[in-house]
Amino acid sequence: MRALGWLGGVVAVLAVLLKLFTYEFLLRDDATVGVALRGVPSLVSRQIVAHSPSAHLILVQSENDFLGSGLYEGLVHWGWIVLAIAGIAVLLVSRRNKTTPPRR
């Protein structure tokens, strides 16, 4: 149960980090879309840019759509909140079970 608690905590942290430090970019005059890392945290998940964001590390870039775009959009819109709450709940439950004495 302890490993499940750690896993819940890690999932919660990763979901929040994904939301805050990545964004989907769309080129203004092109069909290219992608996901890039940003250095400053922000709640903005989608940006229209004039040219490819060379200042940020581009993780995925493709014409029209990239593989996993539906999953990414779901995670950064509302999924990150659900994963964070579920991860924290699992972490708290595993800690609560650890402190209760075993039955005889």
* Domain boundaries defined on the chain: 2-99
Look up the pTM and report it. Answer: 0.76
Mean pLDDT, all residues of the chain? 84
> ∠10-14-17 over CA atoms, to 5°?
140
**Cα–Cα distance, 43 to 20 (Å, whole number):** 6
**Cα–Cα distance, 32 to 43 (Å, whole number):** 22
Closest Cα partner for 22 from 62, 63, 75?
75
Residue with tokens 């581009």: 58
Write out pLDDT tens, residues 65-97: 888 888 999 999 999 899 888 888 888 888 776
Q: What are phi and psi of 37, to 5 degrees?
A: -85, 145
pLDDT at 62 over 60: yes
pLDDT at 1 over 70: no
The two tokens of residue 48 are 């229209």
